[in-house]
Amino acid sequence: MADVRSKTSSRDRVRGFVRELGLESRILEFEHSTKTAQMAADAAGCELGQIVKSLVFVVDGRPIVALVAGDRRGDGDAIARATGGVRVSFADADTVREATGYAIGSVSPFDLPDGLPILIDDSLSRFDVLYPAAGTQSAMIRLNRDELLAIVGGRVARISH
């Protein structure tokens, strides 16, 4: 699967993944960037907290994906505690690409490599509808919270402030 990920564009990768789930019609594509949470919220016409930021941290040398509400900041110490680690930092661009197959600004929580830990910000439970990235800097997908949790798996934890 790693070979397929490296040869497929992020856009096509996410489209293929959500197509298999019957959710392709929920992808929202915009003519302008949705790279920041605020830009994404403005484009979708939703609350900032409904945007799901896919952040990559490195905890004790291991990449971790943290899905954080758009109106919150990922709490590195909380992420380290939630994963049983000590040393934590944001991943650099090369580490993000290597760990997820996506570039910074377009990391999607879908079609991630097996074994990559995913933590989900408990503050996302405030919303029924969420908007995670769909593989480009100008696309998102509209999902309800339960769908997102079922699709990405992961563990819900208090990982933001």
What is the structure's pLDDT at 6? 56
Residue 52 · residue 132 · CB < 8 Å: yes
Please give the CATH architecture assigned to the domain spanning 2-157.
Answer: Alpha-Beta Complex (3.90)
H helix runs in the chain, sequence order: 2-7, 10-20, 37-44, 76-82, 93-100, 145-152
Give the residues of the chain that fall short of pLDDT 50: 1-4
What is the structure's pLDDT at 1? 39
- Say how far apart CA 49 and CA 131 lie, in whole Å: 9
Domain locations along the chain: 2-157
What is the structure's pLDDT at 154? 93
Q: Kindly report the CA angle at 127 between 103 and 99, in degrees rounded to 5?
A: 20
What is the structure's pLDDT at 3? 42
What is the structure's pLDDT at 104? 86
What does pTM read for this prediction?
Answer: 0.93
What is the structure's pLDDT at 128? 97
What is the structure's pLDDT at 53? 97
